[in-house]
Structure 1
Amino acid sequence: MKRGRKPTIDAADITRAAIAIADAEGLAAVSMARVAQEMGNATMALYRHVKNKDELLALMWDAAMEEPPPLPDGEWRDKLGFWARAVLTAIRRRPWFLQIPVSGPPSGPKNLAWLDSALTALEGVPLEPGEKIGVVMGLSTFVQGEARLSFTLSQGFEEDPAQFNHQYGQKLREVVDPRRMPALAKVVEAGVFDLDDVLDVEDLGADFDFGLHLFLEGVAAHIDGKST
């Protein structure tokens, strides 16, 4: 039996080339034609392995995350906290990950490995399987939301640092009407926004840790409520 020629490229090769372009120039630079050019192939050759750009983006969305690190010893909160910070670190390596439209639940091997890791952190916790999935999905949404916010704020700071200094607090005093927004007015008058640098990398990290703490404490309260 005569064997056909082996393909010189495959979907994994195409995905790696696309990720390299996104790492260097951003997600907007990725196209089937550009990937083909970088690989030294005709564009039609790529379509034998990847149907279209949407499929390529889905492959990139999975491959961008790499493999989850091993969980540390400790209770479930320590493990889930470690997992959340590992997800944040992985996203920060490739912030274009957040720009990929998500059209379905995780199904690629890397994303499923991260899901399995988070569920492993909840082994032995008295929750129903569906509740565990809910916890992991909620935590994932929190982490990705925080990553997106910190990335966009950092971009805004680079473009216009002035909007993040003490003038922000002054502007709020001018536009916040205590009669219409009494709760916000109290925070403004307390001087929360009277800072020389409203955006601080360390503050973003502290905000993430505080939000993560609140999330995990909420899960703990739900577990305690079930036991009583």
Structure 2
Amino acid sequence: MSDAPDGQAPPLPHAHAVTWGVAALPHRGPKRELSTERIVEAAIEIADADGLDAVSMGRVAAAVGFTPMSLYRYVTGKDDLLLLMYDAASEIAMPSTGEGWRERLRDWAVFVRASYDAHPWLADLPPSSTPTTPNRLAVVEAGFIALEEVDAPDRMKLATLLLLLGYIGLYARASSDAGVDDAVRAALPELVTDERFPALAPAVRAGLFEEPVAEPESGFRFGLSRLLDGIERWIERAGADGDDIGRLPASIVADKQVREAAKVVDEARARLRQAEAKAAEAVARASERLEAVEAKDRAADAKAAAKAEAKADQRAKAEAKEQAKADAKAERARRKEPSSR
């Protein structure tokens, strides 16, 4: 039950009250020279340049030219400041011109991603299933408009938008190589062995990780298109709720027996990989032996054919020689015959 009188919104935490424009103004302190907007802008500039960890009340105060205590008249602490930054950076204009839901939802995702490109630290603040500030709600509102023509429950539309928001934030983090040491990157071809990573090792040796992600844009488009493919397939099934996947309690991951079972599976996979390697080696050796036998047979056949050809040549020469003798003999006999008068 809310403690607010009927028809009135309950009191909001300070930062939320600021975003909704219902916060009380500071009763004292510098006027005009300092404001919540200026504080938030300075904090965003710091985060854009050096990351979210670089934002502190002291550094923001130095950036605006006031003492940290002056800031507390406008924001109650860093948590308040982060929420205000999150909401301010989420102010996105989304002029979609797509004709169908897929095009409009794609445009929506592209515009949201642009805000993550402008403010990479947004990826460090995961979206909530219940957005509570105006600009974050406006993002969801734009997504609902994109899905207006889709005949599906609102809760499934929200799940769709959360899926895409999660992908956008995760891709923003996954495509960043800011924390990768060049020496470690160079060592990966030696560290990623065939024994431990049989599927990945050949690709790593071929240069898969030699450079940072060269075309993050194409990777993003590919992932987004596949997600939209899946959503489209779901819509074609009339928004069926047949995706019953049980939730796995987090405690199961740490369960001793589960971990031991996983270890057994890993060991079995390792043995399977060794067996497959031996089988592949056996096949390769058998292929080499077969190739050697076939090569030997081909050589023998070629030798026999050459021998037969040589014999045929000899017979032909002998026959030609005998024919020549016979012709010569006949010629001599013809010459000895008396001339007819």
Task: Provide the TM-score with structure 1 as the length reference.
Answer: 0.79
Instruction: Report deviation, 1:215.
Output: 1.1
Structure 2 equivalent of residue 105 of structure 1: 130
Q: Which moved more, 1:53-62 or 1:102-111?
A: 102-111
1:7 is aligned, of 28, 31, 43, to 31
2:95 counterpart SS class: coil
Q: Are residue 160 (structure 1) and residue 182 (structure 2) matched?
A: yes
- Cα distance between partner residues in 1 of 2:38 and 2:229: 43
Task: Name the CA shift for 1:45/1:170 in 2 (closer, same or farther; >3 Å).
Answer: closer
Structure 1, unpaired ranges of 5+: 177-183
Structure 1 equivalent of residue 244 of structure 2: none
The question of whether the paired residues in 1 share the 8 Å contact of 2:127 and 2:165 is answered with no
Q: Counterpart amino acid of 2:56?
A: S
Q: Are residue 119 (structure 1) and residue 144 (structure 2) matched?
A: yes
- Cα distance between partner residues in 1 of 2:129 and 2:165: 14
Aligned residues: 211
Q: Are residue 212 (structure 1) and residue 235 (structure 2) matched?
A: no
Instruction: Report deviation, 1:194.
Output: 4.2
Tell me how large the CA RMSD over aligned residues is.
Answer: 2.8
Structure 2 equivalent of residue 144 of structure 1: 169
Instruction: Report deviation, 1:103.
Output: 7.1
Instruction: Report deviation, 1:162.
Output: 6.0
- Cα distance between partner residues in 1 of 2:226 and 2:47: 34
Structure 1 equivalent of residue 234 of structure 2: 222
Task: Name the CA shift for 1:101/1:220 in 2 (closer, same or farther; >3 Å).
Answer: closer
Q: Counterpart amino acid of 1:114?
A: V
Task: Name the CA shift for 1:210/1:101 in 2 (closer, same or farther; >3 Å).
Answer: closer
Task: Name the CA shift for 1:220/1:47 in 2 (closer, same or farther; >3 Å).
Answer: same
Instruction: Report deviation, 1:102.
Output: 6.4
Rg (Cα) greater in structure: 2
- Cα distance between partner residues in 2 of 1:161 and 1:137: 37
2:162 counterpart SS class: helix
The question of whether the paired residues in 2 share the 8 Å contact of 1:18 and 1:35 is answered with yes
Q: Are residue 92 (structure 1) and residue 117 (structure 2) matched?
A: yes
Q: Are residue 195 (structure 1) and residue 195 (structure 2) matched?
A: no
2:98 is aligned, of 70, 73, 81, to 73
Q: Are residue 172 (structure 1) and residue 192 (structure 2) matched?
A: yes
The question of whether the paired residues in 2 share the 8 Å contact of 1:68 and 1:114 is answered with no
Instruction: Report deviation, 1:171.
Output: 4.2
- Cα distance between partner residues in 2 of 1:103 and 1:188: 34
Q: Counterpart amino acid of 2:192?
A: L
- Cα distance between partner residues in 2 of 1:46 and 1:173: 54
The question of whether the paired residues in 2 share the 8 Å contact of 1:79 and 1:121 is answered with yes
Task: Name the CA shift for 1:90/1:227 in 2 (closer, same or farther; >3 Å).
Answer: closer
Task: Name the CA shift for 1:156/1:30 in 2 (closer, same or farther; >3 Å).
Answer: closer
Task: Name the CA shift for 1:63/1:26 in 2 (closer, same or farther; >3 Å).
Answer: same
2:194 counterpart SS class: helix
2:48 counterpart SS class: helix
Task: Provide the TM-score with structure 2 as the length reference.
Answer: 0.55
Fraction of identical pairs, as percent: 32
- Cα distance between partner residues in 1 of 2:236 and 2:35: 50
Instruction: Report deviation, 1:60.
Output: 0.6
Q: Work out which structure has the larger RCO, using CA pairs closer than 8 Å and 6 or more positions apart in sequence.
A: 1
Structure 1 equivalent of residue 42 of structure 2: 17
